[in-house]
Each structure stands twice: as C-alpha cells, then as structure tokens.
Structure 1
Amino acid sequence: MPRKPNTELRRQQIVDGLLRVMATQGYAGATVQAIAKAAGLAPGLIHYHFHDKREILVALVERLAGYATQRYQSRAAEAIDARQRLVAYIDARLSYGSDADPDAVAAWVMVGAEAVRDPDVREVYQRTVAQEMLLLRKLLRACLAEQGRKVRKLDHLAAGLLAFVEGVFALASNAREIVPVGFAADMAATWVDRYIAGEPAVAGKDRR
C-alpha cells in the first residue's frame, strides 16, 4: 500500500490532536498550542495546514461522517430492495463487525456534547445531522412505498430512529457494561418494521 502524502498525514495528526484535547479540556480549551502539543507538532504547522481550530473541527466531523458513510455503502451494496437498504443503514450505525470503531463513536458523542455548549461546534454538528436526516427520510420513504404503506409523519419517524442511534452511541461510550451486548441493531430494525406494519395501506389505485 503506498504511503500517504506528508500533508495528509500531518492533517490527520492535527485532527487527532484536536480530538485528544477535546476529550480533556473541551472545545473551548482546544487552543492551537494545545492541539499542537497533543499532535506532537510545532504550532506553526497547525497554521500551515488549517486556518483556525474551527477548520480542524470540520475536518474531524467530516472524517467521522466519512467513516459512517463507508460502513453504510459497503453494506448497502448487497441490498436488493428498500428494506434491505434500511437494514444496511441500521447495521452500519449500530452493529459490531471488523470495521467497527468504538473510538469514532466516542468522538461523535464528544462532538455532540460540545455542540450543546459551543455555537461553532453546534453549527458543524447540525449540518451533519441534517444530512443524516435526509438519508433516513429517503430510506424510510422507499421502505414504506415498497410495502404499500402510506407515508405519514416521515420526519417524526426519521428523527425517532436517529435519536435511537444517538442514544445508543452515548450508552456505548459511557455505560457499555450496563446494556446488553449487541442489542441495538436488532431492536431498531424490529421497531421500524412494527411501525411500518402499523401504517395504513395505500389504496390500490394510489400505489406507486
């Protein structure tokens, strides 16, 4: 495997440095000097690769989002219908596997916690959540249509499933020993299946 360019490696080091500082001092305490120290780099290199710490935060969130997208796409590639694509999403977010990364989950929980306190973090966090909602609405709408069910309160269902995922992330990061191992993906799929089954059927002439 070819080595990554030095610039890419440096940027990864800096993003990792931000993550480590946020874990102990929060985003407010993540000064350029603190990030540089955590990354093992000179402060001047931070400014060379990033304009400011908000740009580093964006890179961190993009990396976490890219990891989630890769997990989903690898599973969705084998899906043959709308329900399997929805289950691929649920598995990508909640199941274990060789590509599972608990550190990425913990990092996302950390970003969400900082979003409560810091408007810069909140803006980046909300933008990512909005993209997640778009994907969920698309998957759920297709699943409802495939099963001949009316699409009602789609935003509510998408938000409910996303809230479940976010809650599981928090539990997995902060109380892993308390909750049953591997419960989340099966429970989420069962919950969504029951919700869809409970929705009114579309009249024959209205089915698409």
Structure 2
Amino acid sequence: MPRPSNTEERRQQIVDGLLKVMAERGYERASVGEIAKAAGLSPGLVHYHFSDKQEILLVLVEQLASRARIRVTMRLARVKGDDARAKVDAFIDAFLATGGDAAPSAVASWVTISAEAIRQPEVRAAYDRVVKADLEQLELLVAAVVGKRRARTIAAGLFAAVQGYFVLSASAPDLVPPGSAAGTVKRMAAGLLDTVEAREDA
C-alpha cells in the first residue's frame, strides 16, 4: 500500500486537531490557531490546506461517518447466521457500546456537529446524508425482524434514543451510568420488537 502524501498527512493532522479541540471546547471556540496548535502545525499550514474552518468540519463529518460504518460492519460480521435480532443489537452496540473501539471524542464532536447542522446549511446537508444512511440501514435490520410496515417507526425511535444518549454523554455525562447506554437501548429494541411480533401473531 502506498504511503500517504505529505498533503494527505497534513490534512489529516488538521482534521484530527479540529476533532480534539471541538470535543473539548465546541466548534465556535475551535479557532484556526487552536486547531493548528492541537495538530502540531502552524496556522499558515491550516490555511494552506483548507479554505476555512467549515471545510475542515465537513471533512470531519465524512470521516466520523466512515468510522461509524466500519464499526457497524465489524459488529454485524460477528453475528452468526441470520439472527435478525442479533443484528439490530450489533448495530446499537456499534454506536453505544463501550470498549476498545469506543470513541468519546467522536461522540462529543458529533453532538457539536448536530448543533452546527441547525445553523449551517452545508453542515446540515452533510449531517442529513449521514443520518439518513444510518437510519436506512437500521430500518432494514429492523424490517428483517418485524417486516417493512412498522420498521421505519421502530428504527426512528431507536435511532433517536442513540442520538439522545450521545447528547447526554457529551453534555451531562454524570447522568448516564457508565456502560449503560447500549444495554438500555437494546432492551428498548427488544420491547418494541416483541410488541410488534406479538400483535402480528395475535
């Protein structure tokens, strides 16, 4: 595999610098100088590689989405056979489970990105694409358990719970018992899926 170019390495350092600063201070207080400092570069190099702070943020949105997709793919690959319920749990685990692949700074940054999506149309468009793709994947997994008719409503509720845990863990971490998020949302999923299956069987 070829070695990344110096330009790619510098751009990645800058994106990682924004991630670090944003997780600690939010987007508004992530000045180019602070991003450069966190990246170990000069502000001039940040300006050389990116036209503005928003461009860095949009790259970060895509990278965080890509990392989340990789986690989902890896968790789904661990499910044996065609256990549809286990696949729903694996999806939830990919977003909320603690462990070696957990990324608290990414979660904190994602919460900030969701706030910026309200304020900035370009960020909203990128955010919408990511959330839509994630929600569609969860809907397909849920549909394999309960069928298409109720899958969207259940998937939206579960995904809202995931996003809610993101906000709580980033803004009020003391309110979330450590390691509780994935288990709680999986129990919610089981309750919703059981209810629908029971109605279908009645």
SS of corresponding position for 1:177:
helix
Structure with higher Rg: it is: 1
Match of 1:69 in 2: 69
1:184 maps to what in 2? 181
2:27 counterpart letter in structure 1: G
More helix by share: 2
Instruction: State how far apart, in whole Å, the 1-side matches of 2:60 and 2:159 are.
Output: 20
| Residues 157 and 59 (structure 1), Cα distance of their counterparts in 2 relative to 1, 3 Å cut | same
Q: Is 1:116 matched up with 2:118?
A: yes
Q: 1:139 matched to which residue of 2? A: 141
Q: Percent identity?
A: 48
Match 1:160 to one of 152, 157, 181: 157
Q: Where does the alignment leave 5 or more consecutive residues of structure 1 unmatched?
A: 146-150, 204-208
Q: TM-score, normalising length from structure 1?
A: 0.80
Name stretches of at least 5 consecutive residues in structure 2 with no aligned partner. Answer: none
- The alignment's C-alpha RMSD in Å is 2.7
Q: Is the 8 A contact 2:20 2:105 kept in 1?
A: no
In 2: Cα distance, 1:83 partner to 1:11 partner: 40
Q: Tell me which amino acid in the other structure corresponds to 2:158.
A: L
Q: Is the Cα contact below 8 Å between 2:26 and 2:109 reproduced in 1?
A: no
Question: Which residue of 2 is the match for residue 26 of structure 1?
Answer: 27
Match of 1:201 in 2: 200
Query: In the comparison of the two structures, how many residue pairs are matched?
Result: 197
Residue 66 of structure 2 aligns with an amino acid whose one-letter code is G
Moved more, 114-123 or 135-144: 114-123
Residues 97 and 30 of structure 1, relative CA distance in 2, 3 Å threshold:
closer
Please report the TM-score for the alignment, with normalisation by the length of structure 2: 0.82
Q: Does 1:107 align with 2:104?
A: no
1:28-47 pair list within 5 angstroms = 35-36=35-36, 38-47=38-47
Secondary structure of the equivalent of 1:26? coil
Residues 47 and 179 of structure 1: is their aligned pair in 2 closer, same or farther, counting only changes over 3 Å? closer
